[in-house]
Amino acid sequence: MDTHHIPVLCDKVVDFLNPKPEGVYIDGTVGLGGHSAAILEISAPSGRLIGIDLDGEALTIAENRLHTFGERASLINGNFAEMDVLLARHSVHAVDGILLDLGVSSLQLDTPHRGFSFNHTGPLDMRMNLGQGLDRAQQAPLTAMQVVNGSTMEDLVDIFRRYGEERFAKRIADRVVRARQQALITTTTQFAEIVKKAVPQKKFKIHPATRVFQALRIHVNAELENLVSGLDVAISLLKPGRCLCVITFHSLEDRIVKRCFQTCARMCICPPKTPICICEHKPSVEIVTKRPVLPGGDETQQNPRARSAKLRVVRKL
């Protein structure tokens, strides 16, 4: 399996984080460790990096990649939305820079048994954290297969619209409900075929199942909810003058990041027509990137995954 993952906008991230030997940095989405390795190299000889990821399989690869940095690198299997709790266990309460590089890794997309891609036949799974739902509180792990076979028609329409911005959500949900009455929908390619048949036949710029695959993945992993909580927690952990960098890959993520940064940077968050300010809100950050930073032509040519990437950065006040 090719575990090579080219870190997106890596030079830019490193410029903003400006890692120093005395610093402690958090990579909240360590993946295969590309950005983490760059941060560790630049913060030599004593900068520390704590890498977090939901995906235990990715962490095993990142561990191999980062072992040359010895005790300067620590990896945690967990959710960046709970970063404060995870770091407190390592007695870390404030840090010198944080990166969130959102979405799925190439490892997840290219591993058929993870079920993220319509290009490979595999079980409809899509959990980033394979231990998800294995605690006693939940009856069974929430997988894409459960969502597709167990949700009501209305819920499917809502998931496809909300998280995929899919204009044919109703037609697709209808086709899914009819198909599952014949037989359980269990594989990625079986599901992709059902979607393909549900939408009008025309020349697609992208695979017709792209948006519903994105929708299912976001729903199964509660990605947007984690992002909302993760941004607040990350900002609260930064030392003054230090940066949070967030790389997004689609408009739903980017909108959340943009709005959160704008709110945190504002003097007042009272409703627009309030005559005098009663919110007592104080800005906690300044926005460093007035517009998102995009990859250049060279990078997107070398790494097509970078094409939709947007980097936004705030600095703690």
Ligand X SMILES: C[S@@+](CC[C@H](N)C(=O)[O-])C[C@H]1O[C@@H](n2cnc3c(N)ncnc32)[C@H](O)[C@@H]1O
Q: Would you tell me which residues interact with ligand X (CB under 6 A)?
A: 5, 7, 28-29, 31-35, 52-55, 58, 79-81, 101, 103-105, 128, 226
CB neighbour list of residue 268: distance below 8 Å, 6 or more residues apart: 277, 279, 281
Distances in whole angstroms, Cα of residue 5 to Cα of each of 30, 74, 151, 210: 11, 20, 34, 21
If phi over 0 gives left and psi between -120 and 50 gives alpha, with beta otherwise, what is residue 31? left
Distance in Å, CB of 35 to ligand X, minimum: 4
Distance in Å, CB of 191 to ligand X, minimum: 21
Distance in Å, CB of 28 to ligand X, minimum: 6
Distance in Å, CB of 276 to ligand X, minimum: 39
**C-beta closer to ligand X: residue 157 or 256:** 256
Give the integer Cα–Cα distance in Å for 28 and 53.
7
**C-beta closer to ligand X: residue 79 or 188:** 79
Give the integer Cα–Cα distance in Å for 255 and 277.
26
Distance in Å, CB of 56 to ligand X, minimum: 9
What does the chain come to in residues?
317
Structure tokens at 114: 């993870």
**C-beta closer to ligand X: residue 34 or 115:** 34
**C-beta closer to ligand X: residue 50 or 176:** 50
The one-letter code for the residue type at 213 is F
CB 312 within 8 A of CB 246: yes
Structure tokens at 271: 């409703």
**C-beta closer to ligand X: residue 61 or 173:** 61
